[in-house]
Amino acid sequence: MSIFKGSGVALITPFKKTRKGNIRVDYENLERLVNYHISNRTDSIIICGTTGEASTLSDREHLETIGKCVEFAKGRIPVIAGTGSNETPHAIKLSQGAEERGADGLLCVTPYYNKTNQEGLKLYYKRIASSVDIPIIMYNVPSRTGLNIEPQTAIEIGKENENIVGIKEASGNINQVKEIAKSKTLDIYSGNDDQIYDIIKEGGIGVISVFANLFPNEAHDIVYEYLYGNIEKSRQLQQEAQEVIKELFNDVNPIPVKKAMELEKMCRGIIKEPLVELNEEKTKRLVKAINNYKNKKA
């Protein structure tokens, strides 16, 4: 059974500064964002992923943020927690902690930096899957991790682990997506906002989206217009969004989306070092793209 269909927002983690200048998670604003997404047809919330700057959070902050998100969602839509790591026992610890705090599912990125090989990937996901009872989506993002889940590996992992039910595909390789889709083993989610239509066309059922932070209704519609059979409408909506999607990735994610959300007064634009503020030129391009996109929809 699918954890969700449609648009899952790869939610940013809102931060605030204490009087001493320390950066902490802004739970008041997190609650506001959760309610905003539920009110605007987001189909699932993915908390503490790459866009949520999870790698900059302590384990305590990481698990507390997951727990707060579950509390704020109140069962209205699924909450999927990012819990992958470059050390298997650490990934297991985070996964079990997320399950204990009520997460509906997990998003587990492949090991990064130290990486592994395809056999190591199978063991990594097997260890995590056997440690929890909730469903798991694998996250394949070679541009971040330096490691690709080969299609046959993904298929074997899905067949051998009952609670591994999906894959977030951000390899950019549509042929790889096609091969996984043919097996009918895993739910496929686009991990690239500029490929939502293309991946749904090949058998995907949704997206885990940065774009949805700003435009939740629109991300939902790109998926569901296709699923409802309105294929040309889905393609048109994807095309209309391409400029703003491009500018939301004009620097390292989540630098641009955090800046955009600050400008839209949705949260403070605080990011954690080593990430830095979006520069003036890129900010102007981003603002122009957002305004152009809003005008198209007006």
Nearest CA among 219, 274, 218 for reference residue 251: 274
What is the rounded end-to-end Cα distance, in angstroms, of the chain?
Answer: 37
- Residue 62 backbone class (left: φ over 0; alpha: ψ -120 to 50; beta: rest): alpha
Query: CA–CA separation, 207 vs 182, rounded Å?
Result: 19
Query: CA–CA separation, 226 vs 101, rounded Å?
Result: 34
Catalytic residue among 124, 125, 139, 293: 139
Nearest CA among 210, 250, 200, 275 for reference residue 230: 200
Catalytic residue among 122, 168, 201, 259: 168
Query: CA–CA separation, 55 vs 140, rounded Å?
Result: 16
Cα-based torsion angle of the residue sequence 127, 131, 135, 140 in order, rounded to the nearest 10 degrees? -30
Residue 167 Cα distances to 15, 202, 205, angstroms: 29, 14, 11
Q: Is 122 a catalytic residue?
A: no
Q: Is 224 a catalytic residue?
A: no
Nearest CA among 60, 108, 61, 49 for reference residue 254: 49
Among all residues, which ones are annotated catalytic? 139, 168
